[in-house]
Amino acid sequence: MVQKVNVAACILGASLVVGLLGAGWIVNTTANQLKAYERNVTVKGLAEREVMANVAIWPIQFVVASNQLEQLYEEVEANTDKVKAFLEDNGIKQEEITISPPAIVDKIAQQYGGSGRAEFRYNANQQVTVYTHNIEMVRDAQAKLSDLGKQGVVLSGDMYQTRTEYLYTDLNLIKPAMIEQATENAREVGEKFALDSDSRLGKIKQASQGQFSISDRDQNNPHIKNVRVVSTVTYYLVD
C-alpha cells in the first residue's frame, strides 16, 4: 500500500515539474513576443506630383473717367462690349464671362473742402471676370491684352486685384495613388532602418495620412501645381 502511495506521489511530482516547465516556457515565449512587439520604428513617406490647374479665374479691370455721368456710363458700356468681344474672339464662351456693376466715384463729393480740383469729376472702375476650365485659352488671350489698349480700353488694378487665380479641383482622382506611393516610400525607409539595426520590418502598428497641400510649382508658372502629401507609419521590428 505504501509503495503504491509513493508511486502516485512520484507521478504527481513529475507532472507538476513538467507542468511548471511548460508554463515557464509559455511565459518566457510570450514575454519575448511582447518584448519584440515593443520594438518599433516610425517613418515618414513622401509623395509629390505635378498637375495642371483645371480652373482659371481671370479678372479684367478697366477705368473710365468723365465729367458727365451719362457719358461715363455710355463709355463703360462701350468698353465692356469691347472686352467681351475680345474674350469671345479668343475662344472664351459667353457663359464663362461675368460682368460686375461698375464702381462710380464722384471726386468732387470726396474732396472734403480741398482746394485742388480733379480734371474729371467722375471715375468708374469696371471688372469683367472669366471663369473657365480652359487654362491654355486664358493664357493665350492674356498674351494679347494689348489689343484692348489699342481700342482705347484703359486696363487698371494692382497686381493682387487683377491676378489670375489658378485652381486644381480634381484632388480626389489622384489621392488613392498618392497615398499608396507615400506608404510605399515609408516602407522603403523602414526597411532600410530595420536592415541597419539587424532586424526585419514587421506589421504596421499605426499609420496616419498627412494633409494634402497644393501650391504653385513656381512664381512664374502658377497654372502648374505641386501636390504633396506625407504619410506617417509605425512598423513593428522583428528579429
Return phi, psi of residue 233, to 5°. -130, 135
**Which top CATH class is 40-52+168-239?**
alpha beta
Residue 213: CA count within 13 A, CB half-sphere: 11
* Helix or strand holding residue 11 (H, E): helix 2-38
Mean pLDDT, 10 residues at a time, the chain of 239 residues? 51 48 46 57 94 97 95 96 97 96 87 65 95 96 94 81 91 95 93 87 88 94 96 91
CA distance 80 to 86: 10
The reported pLDDT for the residue numbered 109 is: 76
CA distance 67 to 115: 18
On whether the CB atoms of residues 156 and 64 are closer than 8 A, the answer is no
The reported pLDDT for the residue numbered 151 is: 95
Q: Which residues pair with 238 in a beta bridge?
A: 200
| All three cell numbers of 100 | 460686375
The reported pLDDT for the residue numbered 17 is: 45
What are the domain boundaries of the chain?
1-38, 40-52+168-239, 55-167
**Which top CATH class is 55-167?**
alpha beta
